[in-house]
Amino acid sequence: MTDRVSPAASAAQHRARRRARVADAARLLPLLGVVLFLMPDLILSGADAGEGATAPWLVYLFSAWLLLLVLSFLIGHFYRRDVAPEDGR
Amino acid sequence: MNLTLNLLVAASLVYVAILIVVAFLAERRAARGAAGWLRGPMVYTLSLSIYCTAWTFYGAVGYAARSGLEFMTIYLGPTLVFVGWWWLLRKLVRIGRAERITSIADILSSRYGKSNGLAVLVTVLAVTGTTPYIALQLQSVTLSFAVFAAPGTEPGDLTGLALWVAAGLALFTVLFGTRKLDVNERHDGIVSAIAVEAVVKLVALVAVGVFVVWGLNGGLAATGRAIATSPVAGWEAAPGRWAGLILVSAAAVICLPRMFQVLVVENADERHLVTASWAFPLYLMAMCIFVVPIAVTGLARLPAGSNPDLFVLTLPLAEGQDGLALLAFLGGFSSATSMVIVASVALATMISNHIVMPLWLAREADRRATISGDVRDLVLRARRLSILAVMAMGYLYFRVTGGSAALAAIGLIAFVGIAQVLPALAFGLFWTGATRLGAIAGVATGFALWAWTMLVPVLAEASSVVTSGPFGIGWLRPEAMFGLAGDPLLSALMVSVGLNTFVFCLVSLFTAPTPMEQLQAPRFVHVFDRAMAPRGRLSGPAGAEELMIMAQRILGATETQDIIAAEARLQGRPGDLPDVTPRLLEALERRLSGSVGAATAHAMVSGITGDAAVSVEDLMAVADETAQVMEYSARLEAQRAELTRTARELREANDKLTALGVQKDAFLSQVSHELRTPMTSIRAFAEILRSGEADAEESDRYAGIILEESRRLTRLLDDLLDLSVLESGQVVLTADEVRLADIIDRAVLAASGSGDAIAIEVSPDLEAICVRTDADRLSQVFINVITNAAKYCDAEAPKLRITMATREDMAVVDFVDNGSGIATRDRGLIFEKFSRLSDQAAAGSAGLGLAICREVMARLGGGIAYLPGQDGAAFRVHVPLAGRVADAAE
């Protein structure tokens, strides 16, 4: 560190970075969801691929679903901690 | 336990009674201000579960039994919307709270310049889309009752039951949906009741699922094997259908009136959305997790031909699990009822705010009355009637169609219908350039295409219009618009939403937003970064009292007085009525719009304040008014200037009168002085003569003096008389054509006889000048000027030069002597009466000569003036010419 940055400024910068990261994650999450949820449509719509696909893809879809809502929960958690207090409420 | 119809009815009644108690307690808690967890994130999330209607509870299993995993799309779409809350829901909820949005129609109306036309369109669309959905719920309840009915009872026999259900739901909704006119449009009772219902239907479905997986199939692994060997083991969704259905359900979860109601309108805290972003997908997942096992097991265990839509109910029943069947029945019942209740509240809000109230306001406006009567009551009454109407329509739809279509079909039709609102809504939140006309055109296009491609085929199933197109035009066939004969649902979706979006964007690009839209658009698009600056308002004549009276009719006395008092405190005058500031109007309008919708609230406040920032026409009216005011003030200004001028003239006249008065006094004293002096000497000499003391010579001299003084007196009196006649304008002047030279000769001759010697030199040029004048009077003037020169010229050899000339239509005669002239300061005085510059040679002069000359010349249409810049005293006389120079006569 050649530049001298005050601890307060550094903390503010850190907070701002964290807030931006939470916002970005929240923005990106539905894109992940779209990719995950459209997967069967992209993969299975061929002629034979759909044979006996219900059981495994059922498991896949619920896993993806669970993953999404766990991620959403985490984002919500970080949002409450980092963003909400300063979101002009 | 043996389940009979009566037992079910009793159970339903008890269940409903519990709901009523819950709703009642919740309302009481909220009224006490102790809402607490009632408005917490969990209740919020549970209330969102009205997304899962009877269509989910019964229909999902049926859907899965027919099409495998496809049913999941209906829940994956909302999941994406909720985990992606940052994009749309966050904004929607923030706007909903900031603008006190009351419904999906209201948010569009607000965004697009508080356009009521758009609100009406969306309301009609929502009612059209929701009515079949309500019918669907009634149908599912009827079907579920029919399952328990004695063998041989046709479902049709139970339509009477549906009527009772509808009536009961209407009663409940009216009871808790319109108890009060809440400014926030929040219904704590209803929200609590549907939260309870959410738990009941989840528990019921999970219970059935657990029973099926572990009770009937013997565990997860066995269930997996059962799925693998079932008729729905394979992937059946056509390409694109999966994505299309996810899109439709994602749109629906945002736009469905009932979803918008719980998601945005009933939202008590923006942060609840953060919880709902994971909790609601979790709820949906829990609702879905056992659907496929139940479907597969039902297909395997129940006799062929059983209605898969009722597996949730019939499977436990067939397995002798009456208690579970009752729970499942209540779950289905609660799914149906919660949907119907919230949907009818949402629709009733829209109908009363966007159709009934504007009509009523328009009628009142026709009567030229401001808001009279209790609007509060009217709004509530309108809302109650709307609820009854919505319920009646649902019931009628159910009766008329007889519940023909499969549950899922109607559900999807409604979803696609309400998805027509999405383009206008989504673009409106992110694109300030989206216009009202664009929104109306887009929604109308989508609405029409949806009705044609999806509603008509259901309502007129086998008519020629559906099978071969209207008038036999094949490419207009509802199920294959523009020849798109693929998956009917997908083609209808793409045609309606696609063209909707296209038309919306196109019209928006080619139309200009109204001023109101320009004001509203940034409030929506930039909701997160605006400082909520109050909108500028034209200050209208509204008194705070008038506003208060109007607001009281809708918000109630306490609420209104709170707002007014708060504003008064802010303005630093507690206990007094506040000034009508834009902030107060803003606050009031926002509160009112929570009760009657943005457009109506705006109309009401505007109606009172005369706030006209609504449309170009209104702005033009304002401009016109301003112009009128300006014109009026210009007129006032002119009048003021005229008054000022008049006053000045009066003052001048007064000054003149005063001066004249002074002059008159001076004149009188002059005259008496002038008369007195000769009279004194006449009297004195007359006395001497009478006393006889004077000798003959003296007598002779004295008599001469008396004679001279008398002459002087007479002359003075003549002059005075002359002057007064001239000044009063009574003098009669003759006008003859005379040669100027003749008059001058006469005057010179007359003057030379008066005694004082002066050499007179008349310049000979232009002697032929003829003037039109009174010859005697003119010569009087000339004589006067000449005698004056003779009298006052102080040169040793006095000489007077008379020259003539013509200037335009005037003859100019100059009299110039070789004396010392008249001092500059005296030049203004010489024409005044009794003005004698010195007494040196004043004998026999009263000082009236030049005054008379001036008057005479004025009467003759000419003038006399002192001519400066000459060697001695010089006078210039103007006389009008006789028309032409008489040269030719020579």
| Predicted confidence (pLDDT) at residue B795 exceeds the cutoff of 70 | yes
**Single-letter amino acid code for the residue at B556:** G
Q: Answer yes or no: is pLDDT of B588 > 90.
A: no
Q: What is the pLDDT of residue B890?
A: 36
Output b/e per residue, B151-182; b: 16+ Cβ within 10 A. Answer: eeeebeebbebbbebbeebbebbbbbbbbebb
Interface with chain A: mutation pick from B269, B278, B299, highest number of A CBs within 10 Å = B278
Q: Which segment of B155-159, B474-478, B559-563, B736-740 scores lowest on mean pLDDT?
A: B155-159
Highest mean pLDDT of the ranges B527-531, B588-592, B877-881: B877-881
What is the mean predicted confidence (pLDDT) over B734-747? 82
Burial of B549: CB neighbours in 10 Å, binned 0-12, 13-18, 19+: middle
Evaluate the CA torsion angle B358, B360, B365, B369 in order and state its sign.
negative
Residue A5 above 70 pLDDT? Answer: no
User: Average pLDDT of B720-732?
Assistant: 77
Q: Name every chain A residue with its beta carbon within 8 A of the beta carbon of B79.
A: 33, 37, 65, 68-69
pLDDT value of position B840: 45
Starting at the edge strand found earlier in the chain, the sheet holding B810-817 runs B759-762, B799-807, B810-817, B874-880, B863-866
B647 — pLDDT class (breaks 50, 70, 90): very high
pLDDT tens-place string over residues B157-177: 667 777 888 888 888 888 887
Structure tokens at B355: 């159709």
Across A70-84, B371-385, B491-505, least confident range: B371-385
Half-sphere CA count of B847, side-chain side, radius 13 A: 20
| Residue in A closest to B225 by C-alpha | A55
Top residue of A54, A61, A80 to mutate, by most chain B CBs within 10 Å, is A54
Task: Give the CA-trace dihedral at B144, B147, B149, B151, to 10 degrees.
Answer: 160
What does the alpha-carbon distance between residue B705 and residue B176 come to, in Å, rounded to a whole number?
A: 130
Mutation site for B-interface testing, chosen from A41, A81, A86 by largest number of B Cβ within 10 Å: A41
Distance CA B52, CA B218 (A): 28
Q: Is B220 on the interface with A (CB under 8 A)?
A: no
B243-257, B395-409, B626-640, B764-778: segment of lowest average pLDDT: B395-409
* Whether A80 and B271 lie within 8 Å, measured CB to CB: yes
Task: With beta carbons under 8 A apart, name residues in chain B contacting A73.
Answer: 278
pLDDT at B826: 73
Q: Tell me how far CA of residue B854 lies from CA of B336, B680, B728, B774, in angstroms.
A: 115, 31, 14, 15
pLDDT beyond 80 at B406: no
How close is the nearest chain B Cα to the Cα of A7, in Å? Answer: 28
Residue of A nearest to B84 (CA): A30
Residues 6+ apart with CB under 8 A from B54: B136, B137, B140, B141, B332, B335, B336, B339, B407
CB within 8 Å of B150: residues ≥ 6 apart: B5
A17-59 pLDDT, tens digit each: 888 888 899 999 999 999 999 888 888 766 566 777 788 888 9
Q: Does A70 lie at the interface with B, CB-CB under 8 angstroms? A: yes
Query: Considering CB atoms only, which of A37, A62, A71 is closest to B80?
Result: A37
pLDDT classification of B153: cutoffs 50, 70, 90: low
Residue where the block lists tokens 């295409």 = B449
Output the six-digit token pair for B390. Answer: 């919505």
The pLDDT value recorded for residue B646 is 93
> Is the per-residue pLDDT at B465 higher than 80?
no
**pLDDT number for residue B889:** 37
Q: Is the pLDDT of residue B454 over 50?
A: yes
Lowest-confidence region among B209-218, B512-521, B550-559, B850-859 = B550-559
User: For position B233, what pLDDT does the model report?
Assistant: 82
Contact B278 A45 (CB under 8 A): no
A43–chain B nearest CA distance, Å: 10
Contacts of B246 in chain A (CB under 8 A): 37-38
B459-467: long-range pairs with CB below 8 Å, 24+: B459/B401, B461/B404
Q: CA-to-CA distance for B73 and B63, rounded, in angstroms?
A: 11
Range of lowest pLDDT (B65-69, B509-513, B555-559): B555-559
Q: What is the pLDDT of residues B289-304, one digit of tens each?
A: 999 999 999 998 888 8
Please count the other Cβ atoms lying within 10 Å of the Cβ belonging to residue B216.
20
Mean pLDDT throughout B558-566? 79
A44, A66, A70: residue with CB nearest B235: A44
Identify the closest residue of chain A to B223 by CA–CA distance: A55
CA distances from B254 to B78, B85, B90, B111, B630 (A): 8, 11, 12, 16, 51
Size of interface A-B (CB pairs under 8 A): 117
Using a CB–CB cutoff of 8 Å, tell me whether A89 touches chain B. yes
ipTM score: 0.90
Count of all residues that appear for chain A in the document: 89
pLDDT given for residue B838 in this prediction: 57
DSSP annotation of B530 reads -
d(CA B524, CA B112): 10
Q: How confident is the model at residue B58 (pLDDT cuts 50, 70, 90)?
A: confident
- The pLDDT assigned to B444 comes to 95
**Hey, is the C-beta of B274 within 8 angstroms of any chain A C-beta?**
yes
Question: Taking CB atoms and an 8 Å limit, are B83 and A71 in contact across chains?
Answer: yes
Cα within 13 Å of Cα(B170), Cβ side: 20
* Residue A53: partners with Cβ closer than 8 Å, 6 or more residues away: A40, A44, B233, B234, B235
The answer to whether residue B251 scores a pLDDT higher than 90 is yes
Q: Identify the band that residue B374 occupies on the pLDDT scale cut at 50, 70 and 90.
A: low
A35 CB neighbour count, 10 Å cutoff: 11
Average pLDDT, stretch B136-142?
A: 85
d(C-alpha B386, C-alpha B348), whole Å: 5
In the numeric block, which tokens belong to residue B804?
A: 């003539």
Q: To the nearest whole number, what is the mean pLDDT of chain B?
A: 81
Residues contacting B510, CB < 8 A, separation 6+: none
Predicted local distance difference test score (pLDDT) of residue B203: 94
- What string of DSSP letters covers B773-804? E-HHHHHHHHHHHHHHHHHH--SSS-EEEEEE
> What SS3 class is residue B326?
helix
- Of the listed ranges B110-114, B197-201, B754-758, the least confidently predicted one is B754-758
Asked if residue B733 has pLDDT above 80, the reply is no
